[in-house]
Structure 1
Amino acid sequence: MPTKSPYPDIDIPDVDLWGFIFERKNRPFPDSQVVFRDVHKPDTRVYTFADVRKAAITFGTGLRSEWDWAKNEVLALYTPNDIDVPAIIYGTLWAGGIVTPANPAYSAEELAFQLKDAEAKALVTTVAYLDTALKAAAKCGIPTNRVLVLGEKDEQRRVKHWTQIVNLSRSSYYRRRKANPDKDLAFLVYSSGTTGLPKGVMLSHRNMVSVVLQNEGGGCYVYGRDKYLAILPFYHIYALTTIVHQMLHRGFEAVVMPAFEMKTFLKAIQEHRITMVYVAPPVIVRLARDPEAEKYDLSSLLNITSGAAPLTGELVHAIHKKFGIKITQAYGLSETSPTTHIQPWDEWLTALGSVGKLVPNMTAKYISEDGTEAAPGQPGELWLSGPNVFKGYWKNPTATAASITEDGYFKTGDVGFADDQHNFYITDRLKELIKYKGFQVAPAELEGKLLAHPNVADVAVIGVMDTVNHTEVPRAYVVAAADGAKTSEAGEEIVEWLSQQVAHHKRLRGGVVFVDEIPKSASGKILRRILKERAKKEGVKAKL
């Protein structure tokens, strides 16, 4: 039988995202509440709730009055985190548009792919990324006068600032375009591309309203006390939900970092008395190992929520022992807006390794390889149903049909199981499981163990094909510790060390390869396809 969330269903209002945030009658905080603060200019670059609303309306009016913005046209964001981003997002929604955020690490070719696929009509970036943005725009036919910058102005005057496209004499003529919550898209986010080209994930206004409310459970967040440090990238759905929308809905303040940098991160927690942080696992590893962290007062930090990949119990215990900070885990995907599971605060120790319990209004089931529903406690592919499940893949009905069942379940491609206390465990990606002579090997399990080795700062495990023995074998790509060796002898030592801790079929028969960094998506997920492409060139001499 499918598993329902242990929490009561909540009412999802039939409103679009703008109406949900800015037009509700029961908002428990004033217009003057600070919601976004720049970490580098905390006194001069600040947005209150009223500031965001005013700037968004002005920008939305500009889109319509200056560019004759049509309903459902797409605006692309190509920028690191900036406190201007929320106003631009909501201004686009006010004008009836759709936002597609892109990774600022993209090359011109990669950005052009997304712009063309999304049929973007305009692009907003920063001065630092303007050259690449203009190249990509040219490839897609987006004219230069439809490229804008946020943050600092372009002193060379190649493009306008985002605040400069409104004709105030005509602004009173326009009114907000309301969206159909279930049918109209708010965001077109692109999948991380772990197994191929990114796909556009269609997220409706109802998807986004639902997930914000589904995240509210537990009563652990306190208005007037909690302050967030925003290090997750705003171009990923993880941050769009937990930071951009949540801060505006709950009236919390977020101190915004353009990108993660360890000293800035630690200093911000200390100086702003940060209580909450959402992170990906690499940040947890840095906290546990970097001696710099011990130089700062992190006592205000009550909780860290980690997503994107499983954490080991050893790592969770290490952080708590060192700093007294609780770490809870959560789970979700771009296709689920993203949150589907959250670990309750009071169960962070009793369900170590769990990604939490289903959020309200969700149903799940595990499907075995034979297509039947797995028995309780038995592993299978996780299927999910709920109001936060996406509408499908953009211009890709074949992929949509392959991913969403007729009765509305999304096939996550993640393998795991649930226990009798409603805790869900994710063991690996279905397509990433390594098959060694018929045995299944989960890369995430080996990665969790390898992170405990003193010479492993970061790691990714993939299956590489041994053509001589006609089987896949596990190989570890390792970022060595700062003072660690990168020799073949050091790699052999890691192989032998792991062999003492795992079953025979889980040994690193593909060896250890030292690399400078592990390729990852914006949310911290390992891009295994890049490593697989590298492995094809390297070949394998397996040890059986």
Structure 2
Amino acid sequence: MIIHTSDTSSIRVNDLFCGNIADFIVKGGHSKSSKTSAIDAATGESLSHVNQHILSRQIASILTESGYEPNFDPKSHIGDVLVTLFPNSIYSSPVHWAALIRGGTVSPASVSYTLNELAHQVRTVRPKVIVACKSKVSLAKKAVLMARVKTAVLELEHVISNAPKYPESDSVKFNKNSGYRRVAYLAMSSGTSGGIFKAVKITHFNITSCIQVCQKSAPNRDTASQIASAVIPVSHLYGLSKFLIMAPYVGSTTVFHEKFEIKEFLEAQKQFQVNSWPIVPPLVVLLTNHPLVKEFSESLRAHLRIVCCGAAPLGEKAARDFLTAITGSPDGIIQPTITSRDKSKSRDSGFFSSIRAHVADPAAAGITSANTAESAGQSRDAPRLQIIQGWGLTETSPTCTTFDPLDPDLHIKACGKIVANTEIRIRGQGQDLQKAPILIENYDAHPSKETLPIGEIYVRGPQVTLGYLNDDHADSVSFEQCYDPHVPWFHLKWFKTGDVGFIDAKGRVMVVDRTKEMIKSMGKQVAPAEIEDLLLSHELVADAAVIGVSNEKLGTESPRAFVVPKSGFKAAELRSWTDSQLPKHKQLHGGIVLVDKVPKNASGKILRRVLRERRGDLVEGVKLSKL
């Protein structure tokens, strides 16, 4: 067995926090701080760290009044379930923490869900309570009726306005054995096997250990001086972990956006001097090409210092085009076009001030990667904007690899190095593979990529999920058991990620492909089978198959349908019909191709590989869409 480990030394197992996430955040040392923790980008309303914690304990009492109790099931390791159904908000953290304080389990729902999708989640996780914003209360009640689950629906605005009337509840404590396996989140995911969405069991230990190993591996990535924009939905584990747990744990500030609206996004960056943008590739592309960005260039150059990109791979060209658009340099070196007043701020804009305290001379520290290298003649202490990619999945809570901003090996094509306490195998052609004998910088120019040790990535670590709720089949195909008495208990199984990649000579991970079935559209997973089922329900569709295609205009992968039409079929009408049935990221932005038949094997399985290899198709039903 060839196992790739982290360059960072492991945290001792006994030093990994085992207990309630709510208590872990308090342990970060900022729960009594009057510093601003959360800001509403639209209204400017804010909450301090201490006010968030007080409010969370008051909301916990409201949940108790609604019948929400720490009813721990020793078989499933799940408490009473709370479903959240509201957009990003300064109240996201207090509501989540309230459920965790009571020893319960949170299952975030996306506000983009259709009635059928929400009903499926309700039916799967069987919540005791749903907290929904006013505009989604009706949808929540309809979903409860459709799912036939006894669930109380509370209006978020009512909960917040009434919270001060309630006493503060104490958090439920776990013993060590319970703490390791107690489920904090039921996060909806298609899993590595595709198909209908499943509930992933993410424990308190998964989340807290992931925060700890990320802090150990990248101590300068998330700091108290960070001011981050939250446009990634906290219904997604990436956003949830980043904004609701990591940020309050380190004592930073988050500016919450209900949705992405470019003018508000840029105005908030200027008003609140945002220095960190955790975003996804489609937004990188949009910001690169939008003319409005130029109007805010002075503030962006003065304050923005880091862009964390996740949820899907970001191409090198897209990354360099973005850096050029913001800074004037493809390496992110900020060109001296800002005012002298703001220039002094840009050299110490908060985020990197703490880093410079550790490194007086970046060049001496070896910061000469393709993302941060300074051109000849440029000042060594010139301010810079860095793009840091990371990699992980819902099932890994979510981080497996990342970079520290000061890592001399940081490169915008790589998705990081393995974080502490985490191990990876690369499985190809039935065997484990070694590191590639090349550097990621040289991957594109390599004459025979097929000879490189590229394979499916297996991972194990304290952040890896217990498994899927009530889905033994998904568990059986997603994990490989390990029988080794010499490893920690959380290393006793390997998670088969379905992602394909390699590790270069410097230990950097690059993901070069994804699972054959899944589509990663606008940072979200899309199951082709779901869209195919919808298409087949249309009276003028004889057969259909869906794959993902690269969509350069949107900077993402998009679903494309191959349809066997019946008489009278019109692609534009089908596109309009499917758009009315699907959320935006599942819509057919990749268009519709008419075919005589869908290629299938003898057992009836769609041969998506054959569809991917097609060239020169007439693509219909494509229209301009906004993100």
* TM-score for both structures, normalised by structure 1: 0.77
The Cα shift of 1:66 comes to 4.4
1:328 aligns with 2:388: yes
Distance 1:220 1:198, change over 3 A: same
The Cα shift of 1:225 comes to 2.9
Give the alignment's Cα RMSD to 1 decimal.
3.0
The Cα shift of 1:322 comes to 2.1
1:316 aligns with 2:319: yes
Instruction: Tell me which moved more, 11-20 or 297-306.
Output: 11-20
1:389-436 C-alpha deviation (Å, 9 max, x unpaired): 0010001112112111112110000111111101111111132499xx
Select 1:357's aligned residue among 402, 405, 417: 417
- Give the corresponding residue for 1:69: 69
- Give the corresponding residue for 1:36: 38
Q: Is the 8 A contact 2:57 2:170 kept in 1?
A: no
Matches within 5 A, 1:435-474: 447=550, 451=552, 456-458=553-555, 460=557
Number of aligned positions between the proteins: 455
Q: Is the 8 A contact 1:39 1:268 kept in 2?
A: yes
Q: In structure 2, what residue type is equivalent to 1:87?
A: P
Structure 2: how far apart are the matches of 1:312 and 1:181?
40
The Cα shift of 1:121 comes to 1.0
Q: Secondary structure at the match of 2:480?
A: coil
Q: In structure 2, what residue type is equivalent to 1:293?
A: V
Structure 1: how far apart are the matches of 2:388 and 2:256?
22
Q: Is the 8 A contact 1:16 1:181 kept in 2?
A: yes
Select 1:148's aligned residue among 143, 154, 159: 154
The Cα shift of 1:248 comes to 1.1
- Give the corresponding residue for 2:47: 47
1:340-376 C-alpha deviation (Å, 9 max, x unpaired): 111333468863321111111100011113x211233
Q: In structure 1, what residue type is equivalent to 2:5?
A: K
Q: In structure 2, what residue type is equivalent to 1:150?
A: L
1:386 aligns with 2:446: no
Q: Is the 8 A contact 1:122 1:142 kept in 2?
A: no
Q: Is the 8 A contact 2:82 2:129 kept in 1?
A: yes
1:422 aligns with 2:507: yes
The Cα shift of 1:213 comes to 1.5
Q: Secondary structure at the match of 2:496?
A: strand
Structure 2: how far apart are the matches of 1:119 and 1:433?
26
Matches within 5 A, 1:211-290: 211-216=210-215, 217-221=217-221, 223=223, 225-290=225-290
- Give the corresponding residue for 1:5: 6
Distance 1:350 1:54, change over 3 A: closer
- Give the corresponding residue for 2:184: 186
Structure 2: how far apart are the matches of 1:354 and 1:508?
29
1:17 aligns with 2:21: yes
Q: Is the 8 A contact 1:460 1:518 kept in 2?
A: no
1:79 aligns with 2:86: yes
Q: Is the 8 A contact 1:63 1:165 kept in 2?
A: no
Q: Which segments of 5 or more consecutive residues in structure 2 lack a partner in the other structure?
A: 72-78, 328-384, 437-452, 483-492, 520-546, 565-574, 576-589, 593-611
Q: In structure 2, what residue type is equivalent to 1:460?
A: E
Distance 1:350 1:342, change over 3 A: closer
1:516-535 C-alpha deviation (Å, 9 max, x unpaired): 47899xxxxxxxxxxxxxxx
Q: Is the 8 A contact 1:35 1:48 kept in 2?
A: yes
Q: In structure 2, what residue type is equivalent to 1:67?
A: G
Q: Is the 8 A contact 1:66 1:167 kept in 2?
A: no
Distance 1:321 1:62, change over 3 A: same
1:217-243 C-alpha deviation (Å, 9 max, x unpaired): 333247553211111101110011111
Q: Secondary structure at the match of 2:232?
A: coil
Distance 1:517 1:69, change over 3 A: farther
The Cα shift of 1:176 comes to 2.7
The Cα shift of 1:114 comes to 0.3
* TM-score for both structures, normalised by structure 2: 0.67
- Give the corresponding residue for 1:121: 128
Distance 1:374 1:116, change over 3 A: same
Percent identical: 24
Q: Secondary structure at the match of 2:116?
A: helix
Q: Is the 8 A contact 2:282 2:556 kept in 1?
A: no
The Cα shift of 1:141 comes to 4.0
Q: Is the 8 A contact 1:65 1:166 kept in 2?
A: no
Q: In structure 1, what residue type is equivalent to 2:420?
A: P
- Give the corresponding residue for 1:431: 516
Q: In structure 2, what residue type is equivalent to 1:205?
A: H
Q: Secondary structure at the match of 1:266?
A: helix
Structure 2: how far apart are the matches of 1:84 and 1:193?
29
Structure 2: how far apart are the matches of 1:34 and 1:424?
36
The Cα shift of 1:508 comes to 3.0
Structure 1: how far apart are the matches of 2:591 and 2:96?
48
